[in-house]
């Protein structure tokens, strides 16, 4: 049964040499009625955008969402808010060349709601391109709201050594100097990029990719965190499925272990990274692999994690860079739902999982390491580690008041 959220709320974990320490959060349990946020997002339907907007509302602030949309597979519609969404147009994922004129058009569309921009107390932005749209449109509208710049991933453009990379970093440094607060989801983003690469010395806030506390009531009565500690071992890879190498590795593990393992995939397929044809060919002939399709988060988490022993928290999309620094949603969702983490050694995710007792981290070659581990894993060893997971305070996985603390810092 899910217990009360009490101990450790708002704590910051350190997990490895050089881990950054976030500035202490300001304790303030009160909401701030009448305060307003203009939120600029890259994709209105993207789950983390919806998650942030909901958290701002839960903190007692009103929100108007200025957001672009992305094409949905099969023409699926983008969900909208009835009265507080300002559509800025449509962009294409990672197609920077075609995005610039659309960003300019987005500025003009945002200015149609100039009075709302002027009324905002805080401009909250996701990613560099949205920061440019937000800063330009808000200043043209006459707003003097404080800018909060959130970065959940260090895009590969930002670390390129060529001219486009240098230009992007220069623009970001300009925006950082004009931001009241930088928000990151993992300490390594500060230690590995913002301080050494961008020379950043300003205020920052750690807001991990945890399950939002105010949404926990939707799933708490359906969560079953118990597991049968015996084969077949079930590995779940859930969320936005981008990493083609992970798909290849999971297929190799499925082939090597046969009936002693089951691999379940669920979520949104990033077709720019894994074509539907590639997924279909991978699943074809592998009875121990299945794709369940999209799911609603957090509503469907109890169902998709039911009986799953391990959450696959491996990413190679930006190997050596962002993939090594991030702390993904599935790390926290899996732990909340009773699944232990499988991660790569020498990454932030791996260090965190081991330090917090949430699972295991493996060296390369990963498929061989995980296969050997599962072949020799005993029910007793699994049960012992799983008991440690269940003993973790739920604040390890659930965020309560994180957005409220953040907004207090810029109010």
Q: Output the 3-class SS for 62-86.
A: EEEEEEEEECCHHHCCCCCCCCCEE
Question: Which of 30-39, 159-168, 249-258, 313-322 is the least confident region?
Answer: 30-39
pLDDT for the residue numbered 13: 41
CB 337 within 8 A of CB 297: no
Summarised one tens digit per residue, pLDDT across range 72-127 is: 554 444 444 445 889 999 876 666 666 788 899 999 999 999 999 999 999 999 99
Residue closest to 264 by CA, chosen among 226, 242, 228, 238: 238
CB 395 within 8 A of CB 165: no
Examine the pLDDT at 304 and tell me if it is beyond 90: yes
Number of Cβ within a 10 Å radius of residue 1: 7
Domains 36-207 and 217-396 share a fold: yes
Summarised one tens digit per residue, pLDDT across range 14-37 is: 344 334 444 433 344 454 557 999
Residue closest to 13 by CA, chosen among 405, 404, 392: 392
Tokens of 38: 């203009």
pLDDT for the residue numbered 94: 61
Domain covering 217-396 in this structure, CATH number: 3.40.50.2000
**Residues 54, 156: Cα–Cα separation, whole Å:** 28
Residue with tokens 């107390």: 121
Residue with tokens 């272990």: 257
Residue closest to 359 by CA, chosen among 383, 339, 379: 339
Tokens of 349: 């995710």
User: What is the dihedral angle through the alpha carbons of 224, 226, 229, 233, rounded to the nearest 10 degrees?
Assistant: 30
Q: Could you tell me the fold of the domain covering 36-207?
A: Rossmann fold (3.40.50)
Examine the pLDDT at 51 and tell me if it is beyond 70: yes
Give the global pTM.
Answer: 0.89
**What are residue 25's phi and psi, to 5 degrees?**
-70, 150
Number of Cβ within a 10 Å radius of residue 59: 23
Examine the pLDDT at 227 and tell me if it is beyond 90: yes
Residue spans per domain, the chain: 36-207, 217-396
Question: Which of 49-58, 96-105, 341-350 is the least confident region?
Answer: 96-105
Summarised one tens digit per residue, pLDDT across range 230-288 is: 999 999 999 999 999 999 999 999 999 999 999 999 999 999 899 999 999 999 999 99
Adjacent-strand bridge partners of 62 = 36
Query: What is the Rg, in whole angstroms, of the alpha carbon atoms belonging to the chain?
Result: 21
**Residues 26, 30: Cα–Cα separation, whole Å:** 11
Adjacent-strand bridge partners of 241 = 269
Summarised one tens digit per residue, pLDDT across range 393-410 is: 999 999 999 999 999 999
Q: Mean pLDDT over all residues of the chain? A: 89
């Amino acid at each position: 049964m899910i217990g009360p959220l009490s101990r450790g709320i708002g704590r910051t974990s350190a997990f490895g040499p050089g881990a950054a320490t976030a500035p202490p959060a300001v304790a303030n349990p009160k909401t701030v009625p009448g305060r307003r946020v203009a939120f600029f997002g890259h994709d209105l339907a993207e789950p983390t955008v919806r998650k942030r907007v909901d958290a701002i509302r839960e903190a007692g602030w009103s929100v108007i969402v200025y957001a672009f949309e992305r094409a949905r597979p099969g023409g699926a519609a983008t969900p909208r808010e009835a009265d507080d969404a300002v559509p800025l147009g449509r962009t294409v994922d990672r197609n920077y060349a075609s995005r610039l004129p659309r960003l300019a058009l987005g500025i003009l569309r945002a200015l149609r709601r100039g009075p709302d921009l002027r009324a905002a107390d805080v401009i909250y932005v996701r990613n560099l391109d949205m920061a440019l749209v937000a800063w330009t449109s808000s200043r043209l509208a006459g707003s003097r709201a404080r800018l909060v710049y959130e970065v959940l991933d260090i895009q590969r453009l930002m670390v390129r050594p060529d001219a486009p990379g240098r230009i992007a970093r220069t623009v970001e440094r300009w925006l950082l100097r004009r931001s009241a607060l930088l928000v990151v989801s993992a300490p390594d983003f500060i230690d590995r990029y913002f301080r050494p690469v961008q020379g950043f010395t300003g205020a920052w806030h750690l807001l991990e990719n945890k399950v939002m506390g105010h949404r926990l009531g939707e799933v708490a009565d359906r969560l079953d965190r118990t597991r049968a500690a015996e084969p077949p071992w079930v590995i779940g890879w859930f969320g936005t499925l981008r990493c083609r190498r992970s798909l290849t590795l999971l297929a190799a593990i499925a082939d090597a272990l046969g009936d002693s393992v089951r691999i379940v995939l669920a979520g949104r397929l990033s077709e720019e990274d894994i074509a539907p044809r590639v997924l279909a060919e991978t699943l074809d002939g592998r009875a121990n692999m299945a794709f369940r399709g999209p799911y609603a988060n957090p509503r469907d988490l109890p169902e998709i994690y039911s009986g799953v022993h391990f959450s696959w928290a491996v990413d190679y999309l930006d190997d050596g860079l962002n993939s090594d620094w991030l702390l993904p949603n599935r790390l926290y969702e899996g732990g909340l739902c009773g699944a232990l983490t499988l991660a790569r050694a020498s990454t932030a995710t791996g260090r965190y999982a081991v330090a917090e007792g949430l699972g295991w981290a493996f060296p390369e070659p990963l498929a061989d390491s995980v296969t050997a581990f599962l072949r020799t894993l005993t029910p007793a060893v699994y049960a012992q580690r799983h008991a440690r997971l269940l003993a973790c305070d739920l604040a390890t996985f659930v965020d309560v008041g994180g957005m409220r603390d953040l907004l207090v810092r810029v109010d």
